[in-house]
């Protein structure tokens, strides 16, 4: 298992983590690992849900049909237009 020393932890976060560790009967190290793992698990769950949504949308869209070059070009143009609009809006 890798070892790593955290540096420059804001005092508020340190004290909150220490209090949470005491309340959970864990060491500070165990609490930090627990919370990191929990955040990564939540991120994985959101990604899985998004992928499942895309699969369901694809299945609901109907039977597959051959892709025509004109359709691909039109989709690319729509995507480029949206990306440009987002960039300008920021």
Q: Is residue 87 part of a domain?
A: no
On whether residue 59 sits in a domain, the answer given is yes
The confidence band for 87, taking pLDDT boundaries of 50, 70 and 90, is confident
| Within-domain flag for 25 | yes
Please write the tens of the pLDDT for every residue from 23-81.
999 999 999 999 999 999 999 999 999 999 999 999 999 888 888 999 999 999 999 99
Q: Give me the pLDDT at residue 65, please.
A: 84
Domain containing 47: what range?
Answer: 11-64
46 within some domain: yes
CB 21 within 8 A of CB 31: yes
Give the Cα separation of 14 and 32 in Å (integer).
10
pLDDT above 90 for 20: yes
Nearest in space to 31 (alpha carbons), one of 20, 39, 41: 20
How many domains, in total, are found in the chain? 1
Average pLDDT, the chain: 93
């Amino acid at each position: 298992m890798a070892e790593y020393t955290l540096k420059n932890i804001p005092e508020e976060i340190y004290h909150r983590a220490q209090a949470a560790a005491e309340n959970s009967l864990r060491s500070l190290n165990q609490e930090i690992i627990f919370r990191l793992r929990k955040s990564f698990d939540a991120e994985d769950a959101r990604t899985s849900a998004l992928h499942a949504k895309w699969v369901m949308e694809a299945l609901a869209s109907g039977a597959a049909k051959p892709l025509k070059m004109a359709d691909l070009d039109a989709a690319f143009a729509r995507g480029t237009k949206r990306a440009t609009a987002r960039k300008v809006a920021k």
